[in-house]
Amino acid sequence: MTVGSRSARLPTHGGSRVGRVRGMQDTIITVEGHFDYHHPAERGTVHVSAGFQGAVREEVVRLTTKLHSVLAEESKRLRQEGAVTWWSAERLRAWSDRPWNQDGKQLPLVHHAAASLEVKFSNLARLAEWVERVAAIDGVTLTGIEWALTEATRARITAEAQHLAVLDAIERAAAYATSLGLTAVRPLAIADPGMLGDESRPQSASSSAPMMRAMATAQEEGGLDLKPEDITVEARLHARFAAS
């Protein structure tokens, strides 16, 4: 712990620093406030790919184009029904390679074609139904699902997480002040982690506040976990108080 020059060294407390400068009546307390807000996902973006491979390039491209068109039409229909908020499709990609067998012999050309789509669902029940159905179609590969919140919900809980992180910092500072026999605590500064200009202070694991994270769906035994992940909004801040 670092304290001001010409002052006695005080005990270090986890996540905070306390120092008293001679000639000043106040004791300076620096703490980290944090709060994690968990909210159920409201949107799910499905990442899906249509693709085939084979010895005849034209046939591979034809099958892939047909399947991709079917998925695109379904996405458009779901958008019209209100279950999907938006969808996008990439252009078809085609390539070829010449594999090797286990004896080191080069085999004939294998042609590949693939085209991916992203489909964002607002109705998560319809998402599960659609994924379970299209996953059984030959040539379809489901690569993952991104869970998210609506813009309105994200803004609301971000503000709430920041507010509660400030309250956490106030409570921490008050607790340290009480331990020193002090009763009055007043704020001096509040900032995102690392912005108080004190290089000696350890950085938080979160580089800014707030952060939002959502776990991607995991593939287990060849299948997708369709349970929506909670969205976690992390608010972290550093605050400095004067206590007397």
**Residue 189, domain member (yes or no):** yes
Domain boundary among 119, 148, 177: 148
Total domains in the fold of the chain? 2
Domain boundary among 118, 148, 178: 148
Q: What is the CATH number for 74?
A: 3.30.70
Q: Which domain holds residue 227?
A: 16-40+152-243
In a domain, residue 161? The reply is yes
Instruction: Mark whether 177 and 236 lie in a shared domain.
Output: yes
Which DSSP string corresponds to 178-210?
A: HHTT---EEEEEEESTT-SS-TTSPPPSSSSS-
Q: 65 and 30 in one domain?
A: no
1 part of a folded domain: no
157 within domain boundaries = yes
Mean pLDDT of 105-130: 94
- pLDDT digits 0-9 by tens, 212-224: 444 444 344 445 5
For residues 15-27, average pLDDT: 59
Q: Which residues contact 147 (CB under 8 A, 6 or more apart)?
A: 41, 43, 44, 214, 215, 217, 228, 229, 231
In a domain, 7, yes or no: no
Last residue of a domain, one of 122, 148, 174: 148
CATH number, domain at 166? 3.30.110.170
Looking at the structure, tell me whether residues 138 and 48 fall in a common domain: yes
Q: How far apart are CA 225 and CA 119, in angstroms?
A: 17
- Residue 25 pLDDT grade (very low, low, confident, very high; cuts 50, 70, 90): confident
Q: What is the pLDDT of residues 50-98, one digit of tens each?
A: 999 999 999 999 999 999 999 999 999 999 999 999 999 999 999 999 8
